[in-house]
Amino acid sequence: MDISLLQQSLDDLRCRILPGQPQLSLPSAAAADDADGDADADAQQRYERLEATRLLVGEALAADPALTVRVADDVLPLLTLDDNLTSQLVFPLVAALGRRPVLTFLIAHSTSGSWQARTNSCAAAYWVDVWRSTTRRAEIIAATRQGTLTREQARTLLQQDAHQPYWRTSDHVSDLWPSLWAAAADAFVRCQDNELRQRLQSAFPLDAAHYPPGHGRLLHQARTVAEAMPDLFGRLLADRSGYGTVI
C-alpha cells in the first residue's frame, strides 16, 4: 500500500466532504530524529492517521448515499490504492451505487496497472461479495414502529428477507465473477511477489467448473505455482477460495 498517496487522496476527499473538520496532524520529521526508535514510532503514527482518516471518510459516505454518488469518481480509485482490509470504503460505495457498478470497476482495474493495484482491486471485491443491504430490514422495522405492520407480519417479512434478501433480486453480479477470478488467477501466476500472491489466492477458485471454457491452461499454471509452495497457498489448494462461490 502506498500510504503517502492514499493519505493525500483521503485528505483531499475529507476536506471536500467534511470541510469543518480539523486536519489530523503528523509527527514532525525533526521529532522523529530525537531518539532511537522514533522512526518506528513515526511510521506507526502515520499508519494510525491513515486508519483514522479512512474511518472518518467512510462514516461520512455511509451516512449520506447521495454524497457518495456525487463523489464516487473520486472514491472508487482509492480502492486501487488501499489494501482494503476493512469495508470502510467499499460498503458505502456498494450501498449507494449498487454491487454491479463497483464490481465492474474493480474488474477493470484488476487487469491493468501495478501488481499492488491489481491485488488491491481483487481484495476490495471481497467486500462486494459479503455486503448485505439493510434497507428492506430497516423499512420493516420502521413500519412496525409506526404501527402499519403487526409484529407477526414483520416477523414473517423479516424471515422472508433473510431467505431471499432484496439485494439478490435487485443487484445480480453472478455473471461478473468469472472475469474477476480470471484476472486474479492471471495476477497470481505472473506476479513474483508471494505476499501479494497470498492475498490473491483468496480471490479465485481453482476448479475449472466455475469458469467458462478456455481457462484450463491458466488454472493449470496457478495450480503449479500453488503446489510448489503449499505452505503459502494451502487455502487455494483446499478449494477455500473464490469470492462469489460457496466456500
Q: Is the pLDDT of residue 164 over 70?
A: no
Q: Measure the CA–CA gap between 161 and 195, rounded to whole angstroms.
A: 39
Q: What is the pLDDT of residues 173-202, one digit of tens each?
A: 999 999 999 999 999 999 999 999 999 999
> How much is the pLDDT for 204?
98
Q: Give residue 32's pLDDT band: very low, low, confident or very high (50, 70, 90).
A: very low
Q: Which residues contact 137 (CB under 8 A, 6 or more apart)?
A: 158, 161
Q: Is the pLDDT of residue 91 over 90?
A: yes
Q: What is the pLDDT of residues 106-163, one digit of tens each?
A: 999 999 999 999 999 999 999 999 998 777 777 888 889 989 889 998 888 888 777 6
Q: Which region holds residue 98: left if phi is over 0, alpha if psi is between -120 and 50, else beta?
A: left
Q: Return the closest-CA partner of residue 14 out of 59, 77, 73, 47.
A: 59
Other C-beta atoms lying within 10 Å of the C-beta of residue 133:
18
Q: Measure the CA–CA gap between 163 and 18, rounded to whole angstroms.
A: 38
CB-based contact 37:81 (threshold 8 Å): no
> How much is the pLDDT for 167?
56
- Set of cell numbers at residue 51: 486508519
Q: Is the pLDDT of residue 27 over 80?
A: no
Per-residue three-class SS string for the chain: CCHHHHHHHHHHHHHHHCCCCCCCCCCCHHHHCCCCCHHHHHHHHHHHHHHHHHHHHHHHHHHCHHHHHHHHHHHCCHHHHCCCCCCCCHHHHHHHHCHHHHHHHHHHHCCCCCHHHHHHHHHHHHHHHHCCCCHHHHHHHHHHHHCCCCHHHHHHHHHHHHHCCHHHHHCCCCCCHHHHHHHHHHHHHHCCCHHHHHHHCCCCCCCHHHCCCCCHHHHHHHHHHHHHCCCCCHHHHCCCCCCCCCC
- What are the boundaries of each domain within the chain? 41-131, 135-170, 174-247
CB-based contact 191:201 (threshold 8 Å): no
Q: Give residue 43's pLDDT band: very low, low, confident or very high (50, 70, 90).
A: confident
> How much is the pLDDT for 181?
98
Q: Measure the CA–CA gap between 154 and 125, rounded to whole angstroms.
A: 32
